Amino acid sequence: MTLPDSKLTFTADRELFASGSARVADRAAEFLQRIDQYSDLNAFISVSEHAFGSLASDSDERYTSGLQRPLEGLAIALKDNISFKGLRLTCASRILETFEPVFNATVVERLLNSGALIIGKTNMDEFAMGSSSEHSYFGPVKNPLDPQRVPGGSSGGSAVAVAARMCHVALGSDTGGSVRQPAAFCGVVGFKPSYGRISRYGLVAFASSLDQIGIFARSVDDAALVFDVIKGHDPMDSTSVATDTRQSTTQRKGYRVGFLSDEFIDGCDESVRSAYALFREHLISRGAEVSDVSLPNKQTWIPTYFILATAEASSNLARYDGVRYGVRADDTSSDMITATRTAGFGKEVQRRIMLGTYVLSSGYYDAYYKKAQQTRRLIAEAYAEVFNKVDFIAMPTAPTTAFQRGEITDPVQMWLSDLYTVSANIAGIPAISLPFGTDSSGLPIGMQLQGAMFSDEDLLQFSGKLISA
């Protein structure tokens, strides 16, 4: 398919709803119809047809009576690792295939209270482990621009849902690029806030110190609108922080943006490299003050990320043991827990659990986990130093555009495709992927902007100006 016009945003729809020239219920029906029409893309695991429809008419009434809330009538899809009481919560895993959650994630509560309508749960790499959305118990997600290609991952279903206009906005989770990279591959905006800005309560943990809920949208304004509603401290998540921790610098005339050397991006496709150069020109044309910066420890990013992420994952996924909920394998087995986990987890998940278990083992802890914690601190310090000189750092979101399904079979090769995204998670800083041009086959390219810790609002504001016409 060719992607629908990027101007079809919620911000635009909201005007129509308020003026009475469009109805939420009609838009909802249109989205449901598109989900059905493009079901081959396999973007959704569950769709909330019934509840979604009736709530849409409530939203129309609110618009009629002028009682609309900030996100009234916003159709939003949730990655299937975010807990929503109406629909099962699978994490695209066999082990949770039938799991019915008993509570709403904090983000879900905030969305519902603001008038958003949850349209369904999107497909993903199992437990958010992957960069292609191929590793799902429910089958791979396909890129709407070319169904032979991956949509990126792990939040591939959410990226596709927004790109193919099956909803206004979608939430994903970004542990090492799982929102930004699929956003780049599908040509939409993908925003990962600073660690702690959005409550993780109800987000199924992959790597707790890196996980952050992120937003897919068709415009930066839409992303900012949703961010405003779901951000902020949550007493149920001790690692969440209050909203106004940093004074906005919006009064400044021109933002300073740092660009990295050619060597830094030498592993990228030619199309990505030339897009990066064009991005620099574009920023200058928009009045940004551009300079060269360097991040010295790039070679430590991927190892640091994979050691920390797999270590935490090995512990976070220990609860799926078949004892209390989820699928239980072979009750008669002498070791039910092992049988359940062997049958319930896919290969990539098992690989990461084993790796994480290994790096935490006695005798290896110092060499791996402890060292990774040290390099994590160094990476954050290097960023902090650069942010003394510039407001944002620009870099490609991914080294390539969307690749073919089945093209990357070596797991390490797959992990390397996260090269430009993991560092923002390691340092905890906000980052956004913006659609910026296409390659020769018309596949979208994403450019990434990263900001200092808690500069989320500034980053969104600057990004919004950049891609508005």
Catalytic machinery residues = 79, 154, 178
CB burial string 430-448: b at 16+ within 10 A, e below:
bbbbbbbbebeeebbbbbb
105 binds another protein per the rule CB under 8 A: yes
User: CB neighbours of 147 closer than 8 A, spacing ≥ 6?
Assistant: 40, 41
* Closer to another protein by Cβ: residue 101 or 399: 101
Map the footprint of another protein across residues 57-86, applying CB under 8 A: 81-83
* Closer to another protein by Cβ: residue 142 or 200: 200
> Could you tell me the smallest distance in angstroms from the CB atom of residue 305 to another protein?
14
By CB atoms closer than 10 A (0-12, 13-18, 19+), residue 339 is middle
User: Binding another protein by CB under 8 A: which of 30, 70, 264, 325?
Assistant: 325
Instruction: Tell which residue, 244, 231, 225, has the closest CA to residue 68.
Output: 225
318 binds another protein per the rule CB under 8 A: yes
> Could you tell me the smallest distance in angstroms from the CB atom of residue 229 to another protein?
19
Give CA–CA dist 10/161, Å, rounded. 14
- Cα 211 to Cα 48, 204, 316, 346, distances in angstroms: 26, 9, 12, 20
> Could you tell me the smallest distance in angstroms from the CB atom of residue 312 to another protein?
6
Amino acid at 117: L
Q: E strand or H helix at 235, and its extent?
A: none
* Closer to another protein by Cβ: residue 16 or 339: 339
> Could you tell me the smallest distance in angstroms from the CB atom of residue 203 to another protein?
6
97 binds another protein per the rule CB under 8 A: no
Question: DSSP state, 103?
Answer: S
Quickly list H helices, 72-136. Answer: 106-113
- Binding to another protein by CB under 8 A, coded x per residue (else -) over 170-209, reads ------------------------------xxxxxx-xxx
Contact present, 41 and 65 (Cβ < 8 Å): no
- Cα 342 to Cα 94, 320, 332, 345, 399, distances in angstroms: 11, 11, 15, 6, 34
How many residues of this chain interact with another protein, rule: CB under 8 A? 43
> Could you tell me the smallest distance in angstroms from the CB atom of residue 3 to another protein?
32
User: Binding another protein by CB under 8 A: which of 41, 87, 89, 167?
Assistant: 89
Structure-token match 């949770």, residue found: 96
289 binds another protein per the rule CB under 8 A: no
242 binds another protein per the rule CB under 8 A: no
* Closer to another protein by Cβ: residue 41 or 111: 111
Give CA–CA dist 277/436, Å, rounded. 11
User: How many residues belong to the chain?
Assistant: 469
Rounded to 5 degrees, φ, ψ at 296 are -70, -25
334 binds another protein per the rule CB under 8 A: no
319 binds another protein per the rule CB under 8 A: yes
111 binds another protein per the rule CB under 8 A: no
321 binds another protein per the rule CB under 8 A: yes
> Could you tell me the smallest distance in angstroms from the CB atom of residue 74 to another protein?
22
Give CA–CA dist 345/466, Å, rounded. 42
User: Binding another protein by CB under 8 A: which of 1, 327, 337, 416?
Assistant: 337
Half-sphere exposure of 426 (CA within 13 A, CB side): 30
User: Binding another protein by CB under 8 A: which of 28, 91, 445, 459?
Assistant: 91
* Closer to another protein by Cβ: residue 220 or 311: 311
102 binds another protein per the rule CB under 8 A: yes
User: Binding another protein by CB under 8 A: which of 55, 169, 311, 386?
Assistant: 311
> Could you tell me the smallest distance in angstroms from the CB atom of residue 99 to another protein?
7
399 binds another protein per the rule CB under 8 A: no
Structure-token match 């695991």, residue found: 45
333 binds another protein per the rule CB under 8 A: no
* Closer to another protein by Cβ: residue 144 or 157: 157
Contact present, 152 and 398 (Cβ < 8 Å): yes
Contact present, 256 and 389 (Cβ < 8 Å): yes
Handedness of CA 98, 99, 102, 103 (dihedral sign): negative
Give CA–CA dist 215/223, Å, rounded. 6
> Dmax over Cα atoms in the chain, in whole Å?
69
> Could you tell me the smallest distance in angstroms from the CB atom of residue 237 to another protein?
5
Which residues are near another protein by CB under 8 A? 81-83, 89, 91, 96, 99, 101-103, 105, 200-205, 207-209, 235-239, 311-312, 314-315, 317-319, 321, 323-325, 337, 357, 360-362, 365, 369
